[in-house]
């Protein structure tokens, strides 16, 4: 996507290193960062220099290319793979990408590991970008249908967190249909949940939409229900970090409450995801999906920029109070109107999800 008019992906190979956009400093500064070792890749994922399910997976894919260079034995390769998988627990794209690399290296033979891992990493990244582009076209159908029912009026979309191109290699999942609608000339406006505590909505989604020229408004996290009651939201689209074979959706904390409000107000609630975000081993998301808990200081502190341009972190919670930081929640399938995948739209039930992916229900 465009940054100051220049096309970028979020990650690419640069000489002997993996180059990323350092998302910890956005939107204040646009910095690139080169990762040279598996340890640096792991830290970039853990500290959220890269984040978002698709991009975490792609980064782990490139991390395995570095791992293939660092490992002299299969045991060392497995140990480096485990170190990547352990960085963040909820987004399933991480283990999916690492395991895909291990399988590719096993098939090609350990002696061919470096070139195999490079090709596989590039393939994972290319597929991620292509999947998001296809999600955009399938999701566009939903927005076109809403627009047809209110000709000449603006389609109002609400989104939570950042499932934009910064969360993937390109295009994004939840934002791809929005970008496609904007490009098709459909008048569209996005309500952007700020998404405490890390503010991915206020910082990243808002920045992305501004870069692409899409009209949007940042709202406090608890505003969505009111807007829906007042008929000011036509459609909710979020991303996902892990979706069970039955359609339960793990996404950024607060998504569940938006889905409840959408259901109460008859607002369609769609989840956009590439197929790499399905966890085919799980049927019950509430019981089975691991929910990451992060450092309490992400809740007690907030980062911002002063008028003079210095980036500062302030404590915003009463001194001495404890804070809990659950990073994700699970929205049960019954609250989700449908899934938007690269293979097409589908209902949130096991039969429909499996049929779309050529899998047999109740079987791994
Ligand atoms: O903690 P993050 O920023 O890695 O969380 C991921 C997200 O940005 C959201 O949950 C997103 O909606 C799904 S990831 C495409």
Residue-wise pLDDT tens digits, 10-62: 999 999 999 999 999 999 999 999 999 999 999 999 999 999 999 999 999 99
Who contacts 76 (Cβ-Cβ below 8 Å, separation ≥6)?
70
Considering the domain architecture, whether residues 118 and 143 belong to the same structural domain is answered as no
Considering the domain architecture, whether residues 30 and 63 belong to the same structural domain is answered as yes
Q: 358 CA to middle of ligand 1, Å?
A: 27
Using the 3D structure, point to which of 127, 156, 191 is the last residue of a domain.
Answer: 127
The pLDDT tens digits for 133-153 are 999 999 999 999 999 999 999
CATH number for the domain spanning 104: value is 1.20.120.420
Q: Kindly list the strands in the beta sheet with 338-341, ordered across the sheet, starting from the edge strand earlier in the chain.
A: 216-219, 188-193, 155-159, 235-238, 269-272, 338-341, 344-346
Mutate to test the pocket of ligand 1, among 251, 292, 293 (most ligand atoms within 8 A of CB): 251
Residue nearest to atom 10 of ligand 1 (CA): 252
State yes or no: is 241 an active-site residue: yes
CATH number for the domain spanning 181: value is 3.40.50.10470
pLDDT at residue 202, as a whole number: 98
Residue 183 lies in a domain: yes
The domain containing residue 30 runs over which residues?
2-127
The pLDDT tens digits for 271-283 are 999 999 999 999 9
Contact in structure between 342 and 134 (CB atoms under 8 Å): yes
Considering the domain architecture, whether residues 280 and 195 belong to the same structural domain is answered as yes
Both structure tokens of 266: 């008859």
Which pTM does this prediction carry? Answer: 0.97
Considering the domain architecture, whether residues 212 and 83 belong to the same structural domain is answered as no
The pLDDT tens digits for 336-358 are 999 999 999 999 999 999 999 99
> Across residues 294-305, what is the average pLDDT?
97
Q: What is the mean pLDDT of the chain?
A: 97
Considering the domain architecture, whether residues 189 and 296 belong to the same structural domain is answered as yes
pLDDT at residue 57, as a whole number: 98
Residue 208 lies in a domain: yes
Residue 46 lies in a domain: yes
The pLDDT tens digits for 175-184 are 999 999 999 9
Considering the domain architecture, whether residues 220 and 305 belong to the same structural domain is answered as yes
Considering the domain architecture, whether residues 176 and 316 belong to the same structural domain is answered as yes
363 pLDDT tier (thresholds 50, 70, 90)? low
Considering the domain architecture, whether residues 143 and 278 belong to the same structural domain is answered as yes
Short-list 169, 140, 171, CA closest to 157:
140
Who contacts 165 (Cβ-Cβ below 8 Å, separation ≥6)?
1, 10, 132, 171, 172, 175, 208
Residue 13 lies in a domain: yes
Residues β-bridged to residue 13: 18
Who contacts 179 (Cβ-Cβ below 8 Å, separation ≥6)?
1, 136, 171, 172, 212, 214
Integer angstrom CA distances of residue 60 from 3, 65, 80, 137, 253: 24, 9, 11, 27, 23
Measured distance CA(159)–CA(84) in Å, rounded: 29
Short-list 63, 61, 4, CA closest to 39:
63
203 in a labelled binding site: no
- Of the residues 170, 241, 279, 329, which is catalytic? 241
Measured distance CA(69)–CA(329) in Å, rounded: 37
Residue nearest to atom 14 of ligand 1 (CA): 52
* Phi then psi dihedrals of residue 195, to 5 deg: 70, 65
Residue 58 in contact with ligand 1 by CB distance below 6 A: no
pLDDT at residue 362, as a whole number: 81
Who contacts 333 (Cβ-Cβ below 8 Å, separation ≥6)?
244, 246, 247, 248, 249, 285, 348, 349
The pLDDT tens digits for 150-174 are 999 999 999 999 999 999 999 999 9
The pLDDT tens digits for 212-246 are 999 999 999 999 999 999 999 999 999 999 999 99
pLDDT at residue 10, as a whole number: 98
Considering the domain architecture, whether residues 98 and 66 belong to the same structural domain is answered as yes
Considering the domain architecture, whether residues 228 and 184 belong to the same structural domain is answered as yes
- The gap from C-alpha 184 to its chain's centroid, in whole angstroms, comes to 24
Cα torsion 106, 107, 111, 115 to 10°: value is -110
Residue 132 lies in a domain: no
Considering the domain architecture, whether residues 121 and 143 belong to the same structural domain is answered as no
Instruction: Count CA within 13 A, CB hemisphere, residue 281.
Output: 6
DSSP one-letter code for 293: B
| Residue 50, phi-psi category: left (phi > 0), alpha (psi -120 to 50), beta (remainder) | beta
Q: How many domains does the chain have?
A: 2
pLDDT at 364 over 70: no
Residue 23 in contact with ligand 1 by CB distance below 6 A: no
């Amino acid at each position: 996507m465009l940054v100051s008019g220049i096309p970028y992906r979020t990650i690419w190979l640069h000489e002997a290193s993996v180059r990323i956009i350092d998302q910890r400093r956005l939107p204040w500064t646009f910095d690139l960062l080169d990762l040279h070792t598996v340890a640096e890749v792991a830290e970039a994922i853990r500290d959220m220099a890269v984040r978002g399910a698709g991009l975490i997976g792609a980064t782990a894919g490139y991390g395995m290319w570095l791992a293939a260079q660092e490992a002299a034995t299969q045991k060392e390769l497995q140990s480096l793979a485990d170190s990547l998988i352990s960085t963040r627990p909820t987004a399933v794209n991480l283990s999916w990408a690492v395991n895909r690399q291990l399988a590719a290296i096993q098939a090609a033979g350990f002696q061919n590991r470096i070139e195999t891992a490079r090709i596989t990493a590039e393939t994972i990244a290319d597929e991620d970008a292509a999947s998001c582009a296809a999600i955009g076209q399938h999701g566009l159908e939903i927005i076109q249908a809403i627009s047809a029912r209110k000709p000449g009026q603006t389609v109002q979309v609400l989104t939570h967190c950042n499932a934009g191109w910064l969360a993937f290699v390109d295009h994004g999942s939840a934002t791809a249909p929005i970008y496609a609608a904007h490009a098709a000339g459909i008048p569209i406006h996005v309500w952007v949940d700020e998404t405490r505590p890390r503010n991915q909505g206020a910082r990243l989604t808002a920045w992305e939409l501004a870069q692409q020229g899409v009209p949007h408004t940042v709202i406090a996290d608890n505003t969505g229900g009111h807007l829906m009651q007042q008929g000011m939201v036509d459609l909710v689209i979020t991303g996902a970090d892990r979706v069970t074979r039955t359609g339960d959706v793990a996404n950024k904390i607060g998504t569940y409450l938006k889905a409840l409000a959408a259901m109460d107000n008859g607002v369609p609630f769609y989840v956009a995801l590439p197929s790499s975000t399905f966890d085919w081993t799980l049927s019950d998301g509430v019981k089975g999906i691991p929910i990451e808990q992060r450092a309490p200081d992400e809740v007690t502190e907030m980062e911002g920029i002063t008028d003079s341009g210095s980036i500062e972190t302030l404590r915003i919670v009463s001194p001495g109070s404890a804070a809990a930081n659950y990073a994700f929640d699970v929205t049960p399938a019954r609250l989700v109107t449908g899934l938007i995948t690269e293979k097409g739209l589908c209902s949130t039930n096991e039969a429909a999800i499996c049929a779309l992916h050529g899998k047999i229900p109740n079987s791994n």
